[in-house]
Structure 1
């Protein structure tokens, strides 16, 4: 087991990560992830046929080949070949997928639930923290305050052949974590303003399992503006 701790003394926004990724093989997988994403985007040459769905919500945008929209307690959008964008003050996300199911309401704490299958590309930004991932499927649940603060919370699960890259733009020497062929990445994240946190601290641990040829990887970063926990057992 190896653990390292770094204190960046940063006044800028960054990310608290607690990442536990069960891997069949842990690699520095940026090149592999980029090739997978590029190949998948090339297969969507008919992207010009996508159209924006009329959802009457400035925070949720859906472009798709085809969507079925229904309203009960929530507005439900079932789409094929879609690009779904979440646009919040502190949280922005874009998800491309072959099949997606989106549900959201319009309460003071507006919640959004998204499930995708059949290959998913995800870009997620929490303040200056940035996550990119390619996986077989995704489940994402977010809640955002509508009281003027715009603070957001999210639960995230990426499953099946997960290739992931995580960075933070606020650091003078940005931290980059890249891993490939993960079986699952899950997590909880929350944007906040914490005046008691005045510096950025990073911890990394890697624990191999010799019997199953897997690896448990954890990364934790705490900062004044964003708090995130990523890992297969941290969903809340």
Structure 2
């Protein structure tokens, strides 16, 4: 049902919008029953909200949602990255190819393409780790993150070079088989992403304390500079 997920993400939905099954069925050449059944998986993953009667809607995104997702992504990503370093640089080819796409998008200043290429680079690293359950969980978090980015209509026009530089730094550390440095750089990337995404939401005084609790990191002060990255 990957095509169904992509169709939902490309639908331009806003928080609270119902996902209409009939247009999706026509676009994908499927029956409405198949579409309705297929929407249960993204609902179970938190990408969609399941409504009474079996309908689905795009959920609102809160500061707690963002911090919850990134706390998981930070820890799980660091584990997978250390595993990639242990396996050695000879396994990096899929990530290297994905990184080339990230850098190409940065050179073109294509902020639409780079946000997808960045996530593909991260998913490539997860798959290289050869930990199927951990990688599967990471990729489900990626799908949910895509929905957050879509719902918040995130603007990465000022972040292309930052994203490419951060991904290159992680890749270079892995090429040197330095798992600790790669994991540190990954957490730096996550910290910046949290600050940027939280800045898109209404002020929430709980958010800084929650991030400290979830990730053991300093408070996110409202006045701090924020940069965009996945």
Greater relative contact order structure (CA < 8 Å, 6+ sep): 1
Q: Same fold (TM over 0.5)?
A: no
Q: Which has the higher helix share?
A: 2
Give TM-score scaled by structure 2 length.
0.26
Give TM-score scaled by structure 1 length.
0.25
